[in-house]
Amino acid sequence: MRRPASMLRANGRYIVSIVASVLLTVLLLWLPLDYQALGGYGYLGVLLMTMLPSATVIFPSPTLAAAWIAGTFLNPWLVGLVAGLGATVGEITGYLAGYGGSALLVRSDHYERVQGLMNRYGLWVVFLLALVPNPLFDLTGIVAGAARVSLWKFLLVALAGKSLRFLLIAHLGAFWEWRSLTLGHFLGSDWARRAFWR
């Protein structure tokens, strides 16, 4: 039988990564962040508004709304790239939870499904789940960490998928703003008033 001290020494890095991941998640949930105020910081606000919520494991986050809104008043290309970077950096917590606690993770049906997909299709699963907004991406990071996928490979593939997603969302926000302004200008013109508002 192993002694507690030797078990702690052998599993120290795993325990530290699990504790750090849980503490960061709890900190982000309890920290009174004013996400509206972060929007006033431009691209730095976009980075923080996508990174901080993405660092919470399993809980939903307002990252899509942040990219949509920022796309209405900032360059949507830069918003998409910055939001993709922030969301990807935030996903390190899920990866570390998996890396540090593969033997301690509770295996759910969703976990098993993502693990089976990753075993079969590899990093394509990371890319596709990063591209499509869904709650399973946290599990993807956990599975990638538990499977000891290279952190840099995981981050690069996740960055590609998340950046494409946020580029689309930011451009939709910019298009919506342009459409609203154009329609408002059209409806407010003298010609439109005479034709439609008799």
Closest listed residue to residue 87, CA positions, set 14, 139, 162: 162
pTM of model > 0.85: no
In the chain, where does DSSP find H-type helix? 4-30, 35-38, 43-54, 63-73, 76-90, 92-100, 109-121, 123-131, 137-146, 151-188, 190-196
Q: pLDDT: is 155 or 176 the higher one?
A: 155
Q: What is the pLDDT of residue 180?
A: 58
Taking the chain, what is the end-to-end CA distance rounded to the nearest angstrom? 90
Average pLDDT over residues 163-169: 95
Number of domains the chain contains: 1
How far is residue 117 from each of residues 60, 130, 154, measured CA to CA in Å? 22, 14, 15
Contact 43, 79 (CB under 8 A): yes
Q: Packing angle between helix 123-131 and helix 137-146, nearest 10 degrees? A: 160
The model's pLDDT over 24-68, given as tens digits with 9 standing for 90+, comes to 555 655 666 555 555 567 888 888 878 877 877 655 566 777 788
Q: Give the CA distances from residue 12 to residues 4, 17, 23, in Å, rounded to whole numbers and listed in that order.
A: 11, 9, 16
What digits encode the pLDDT tens for the residues 70-90?
A: 888 889 999 999 999 999 998
The structure tokens listed for 154 are: 């995981």
CA distance 184 to 192: 10
**Residue 97 belongs to what domain range?**
4-196
Distance between CA atoms of residues 170 and 164, nearest Å = 10
Q: Are 73 and 117 in contact (CB under 8 A)?
A: no
> Which tens digits make up the pLDDT trace of 76-133?
999 999 999 999 998 898 898 888 875 545 566 777 888 888 999 999 999 999 999 8
Residue 7 scores a pLDDT above 90: no
Q: What is the pLDDT of residue 192?
A: 41
Taking the C-alpha atoms of residue 155 and residue 157, their distance in angstroms, rounded to an integer, is: 6
pLDDT tier, 181 (very low <50, low <70, confident <90, very high otherwise):
low
Check residue 41 and give its pLDDT: 78
